[in-house]
């Protein structure tokens, strides 16, 4: 997925969420008129504020997520900075709407207290939630909060096990500090591609990650596109990695899907975990990449009904997987060259 496409998807998501917020706010303001105005006028004010606040917050969230300066801040500094930005943003929106639609009431003490309390509440809630999301993951945080997997249940999921090639040798040659920075840069590439293709970063495993998508055709296709995007971006960053670390960042990825048991584990520290043969098989597939000299390897079940990929596919037949009694057929997935990509599009 190209950067322009990512921005378009992000803008569309923010617009839909803001429109939903506007409708809810308009309905609430109609039945509980604000600013001493008639119900319809109050609904208009509520709709505008309900749209503009979440829409602008999505921009602040994107800025905080992508800004290198924000990432360098300690979390206390991050919370304070983002909270102040959000509070200022909501107050600016309040005053703009107020001066346009209810200028006579905009400086009323009760309205200022309401606007200030609302901006403070939104800023603190949004900032804390954003920090928690970074540690736990947005969808995982929502699932834990809603108790979706408080009781374990079986569902179909697509998994990608991804690993940095030659990590042991890299750790030895680079030293702990430089190797740590290289892993962070590698993880950032993987995370961007996963987020852009609507996947979930389930777990870090040292120099690798476990990524999760739905087991649907769309979910499996998105997982492959994420792996191809990781490969493309690492190729574009090859010179930068070699300049900083004297090594390129290459990876192997195993893809598989099937039923897993999903449920909460832990008491004081909660985590949503995945259990079953599907997870183990995915790891075995990833380990086979070295044997077949490829970066991306998927099971036949994973590739079922997937068509029109911007990639070359080839079959590795009767592959023995460690711990599995029967051999399986695996599909090698290779990125197209520049000329092949042009003809494919």
Q: What residue segments make up the domains of the chain, in order of their start?
A: 3-136, 140-344
Annotate 43-95 with DSSP letters as a single string: HHHHHHHHHHHHHHHHHHHHHHHH-HHHHHS-HHHHHHHHHHHHHHHHHHHHH
Residue 307 pLDDT greater than 50, yes or no: yes
Structure confidence at residue 255 (pLDDT): 96
Structure confidence at residue 339 (pLDDT): 47
Flag the least confident range among 15-29, 130-144, 154-168, 286-300.
130-144
Determine the Cα–Cα distance for residues 63 and 72; give it in Å rounded to an integer.
Answer: 13
Determine the Cα–Cα distance for residues 303 and 220; give it in Å rounded to an integer.
Answer: 8
Structure confidence at residue 7 (pLDDT): 53
Q: Which of 199, 158, 156 is nearest to 302 (CA)?
A: 158
Q: What is the pLDDT of residues 217-236, one digit of tens each?
A: 999 999 999 999 999 999 99
DSSP 38: -
Determine the Cα–Cα distance for residues 220 and 287; give it in Å rounded to an integer.
Answer: 20
**Contacts made by residues 90-94, CB under 8 angstroms, sequence distance 24+:** 90/53, 90/115, 90/118, 90/119, 90/122, 90/123, 91/115, 91/116, 91/119, 93/49, 93/52, 93/53, 93/56, 94/49, 94/118, 94/119
Count Cα neighbours of 251 within 13 Å in the Cβ-side half-sphere: 29
Structure confidence at residue 19 (pLDDT): 77
Structure confidence at residue 76 (pLDDT): 73
Burial zone of 105 (CB within 10 Å; 0-12 exposed, 13-18 middle, 19+ buried)? middle
Determine the Cα–Cα distance for residues 329 and 179; give it in Å rounded to an integer.
Answer: 35
State the average pLDDT over residues 236-258.
93
Q: Compute the Cα dihedral for 162, 75, 117, 60 and give only its sign.
A: negative
For the chain, give percent helix, strand, coil, nearest 5. 60, 20, 20
> Exposed e or buried b for every residue in 122-148, given b needs 16+ CB within 10 A?
bbeebbeebbebeebbebbbebbeeeb
Tell which phi-psi region holds residue 293, choosing left (phi > 0), alpha (psi between -120 and 50) or beta: left
Q: How far is CA 298 from CA 23, 207, 224, 226, 330, in A?
A: 44, 20, 9, 13, 6
**228 CB neighbour count, 10 Å cutoff:** 23
Structure confidence at residue 3 (pLDDT): 47
pTM of the complete model: 0.68
CATH of domain 140-344: 3.30.70.1230
E strands, the chain, in order: 153-164, 200-205, 208-214, 251-265, 271-275, 296-299, 311-319, 328-335
Contact indicator for 305, 321 with CB cutoff of 8 Å: no
**Residues contacting 329, CB < 8 A, separation 6+:** 299, 300, 315, 316, 317, 318, 319
State the average pLDDT over residues 278-303.
92
State the average pLDDT over residues 299-321.
87
Assigned token pair, 101 = 């639609």
The residue that leads in pLDDT, 42 or 294, is 294
Q: What is the pLDDT of residues 75-125, one digit of tens each?
A: 677 777 777 787 787 778 777 877 777 777 767 766 666 666 666 676 667
Residue 2 pLDDT greater than 50, yes or no: no
State the average pLDDT over residues 18-28.
76
The residue that leads in pLDDT, 206 or 162, is 162
Which residue carries 């945080």 as its tokens?
141
Structure confidence at residue 228 (pLDDT): 94
Query: Could you tell me what percent of the chain has a pLDDT over 90?
Result: 29
pLDDT band at 8 (very low <50, low <70, confident <90, very high): low
Which residue carries 């897993």 as its tokens?
260
**Residues contacting 47, CB < 8 A, separation 6+:** 22, 23, 25, 26, 29
């Amino acid at each position: 997925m190209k950067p322009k496409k990512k921005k378009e998807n992000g803008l569309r998501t923010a617009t839909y969420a803001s429109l939903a917020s506007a409708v809810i706010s308009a309905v609430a303001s109609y039945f509980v008129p604000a600013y001493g105005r008639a119900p319809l006028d109050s609904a208009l004010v509520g709709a505008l504020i309900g749209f503009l606040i979440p829409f602008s917050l999505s921009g602040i969230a994107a800025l905080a997520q992508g800004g290198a300066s924000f990432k360098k801040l300690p979390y206390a500094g991050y919370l304070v900075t983002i909270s102040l930005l959000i509070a200022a943003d909501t107050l600016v929106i309040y005053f703009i709407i107020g001066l346009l639609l209810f200028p006579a009431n905009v400086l009323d003490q009760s309205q200022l207290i309401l606007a200030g309390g609302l901006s403070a509440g939104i800023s603190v809630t949004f900032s804390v939630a954003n920090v928690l999301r970074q540690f736990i993951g947005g969808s995982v945080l929502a699932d834990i909060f809603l108790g979706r997997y408080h009781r374990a249940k079986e569902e179909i999921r697509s998994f990608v096990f991804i690993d940095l090639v030659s990590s042991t040798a890299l750790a030895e040659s680079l030293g702990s500090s430089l190797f740590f920075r290289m892993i962070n840069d590698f993880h950032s590439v993987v995370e961007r591609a996963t987020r852009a293709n609507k996947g979930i970063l389930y777990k870090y495993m040292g120099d690798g990650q476990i990524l999760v998508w739905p087991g649907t055709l769309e979910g499996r296709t998105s997982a492959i596109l994420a792996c191809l995007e990781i490969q493309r971006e690492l190729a574009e960053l090859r010179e930068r990695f070699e300049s900083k670390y004297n090594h390129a960042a290459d990876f192997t990825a195993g893809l598989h899907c099937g039923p897993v048991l999903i449920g909460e584990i832990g008491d004081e520290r909660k985590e949503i975990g995945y259990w079953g043969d599907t997870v183990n098989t995915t790891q075995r597939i990833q380990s086979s990449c070295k044997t077949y000299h490829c970066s991306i390897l998927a099971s036949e079940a994973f590739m079922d009904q997937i068509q029109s990929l911007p990639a070359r596919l080839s079959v590795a037949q009767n592959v023995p997987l460690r711990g599995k009694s029967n051999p399986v057929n695996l599909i090698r997935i290779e990125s197209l060259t520049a000329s092949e990509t042009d003809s494919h599009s």
